[in-house]
Amino acid sequence: MDIITGGPGKLFAVVLLMAGVVIIVVTIHQELQATRLQPVQARVILPAGKTANANDFIRYCRVGISKAPSWNISIRYKYVVEGNNYLGYLATLGGNSFLTEKDAQKCLEGLFGDGNVTAWYDKQSPGIAFLDPAPRRSGYRDGTICFVLAFIVNIFMDKAYYWLREKSKK
């Protein structure tokens, strides 16, 4: 049986496999990018007279069209590389959204006081910087889950489909 003539499990399995591959490829890309990152002193942009407190930059809200709320970091920082001024806004290689407040706070550890912080910029694109240079390793877990689900869906969804089909003919 091939994907065209197979049951619906084949189609769903292919979609899950493709999702798993994309997730793994993005995770590998982030890890490769992390190897190129260089530290640079940065300064968080604060209102006059305000001191930096990590919790001031974390909000519980929805971003874009997402229906699921998450913990989001909204921060801006300035840094200089080879005499050029840059403005950064990314907290991690994986972006600025987190499932838990604890994860968001962990990313901003040490961001207190005068607003000086270490940022990590990409040597190939100095305009891209992050406050936390560690890639999120959950991509490997998520990709593996997609692969396992594809296997399960492929087997059991087709069996259920053909069983129901036979049952309806009787």
* Residues ≥6 apart with Cβ < 8 Å to 86: 78, 79, 80, 121, 126, 127, 129
User: pLDDT in tens for each of the 170 residues of the chain?
Assistant: 444 556 777 888 888 889 999 988 888 887 887 788 899 999 888 776 677 777 778 888 876 777 778 888 888 899 999 999 999 988 887 788 888 888 888 878 766 667 788 888 988 889 989 887 776 667 778 888 888 888 888 888 877 877 887 878 76
Q: Which of 83, 80, 63, 64 is nearest to 72 (CA)?
A: 63
Residue-wise pLDDT for 102-138, tens only, equals 888 887 876 666 778 888 898 888 998 988 777 666 7
**DSSP letters for 31-61:** HHHHHTEEEEEEEE---TTPPEEGGGGEEEE
**pTM, full prediction:** 0.65
Q: Is the dihedral of CA 121, 123, 128, 130 positive or negative?
A: negative
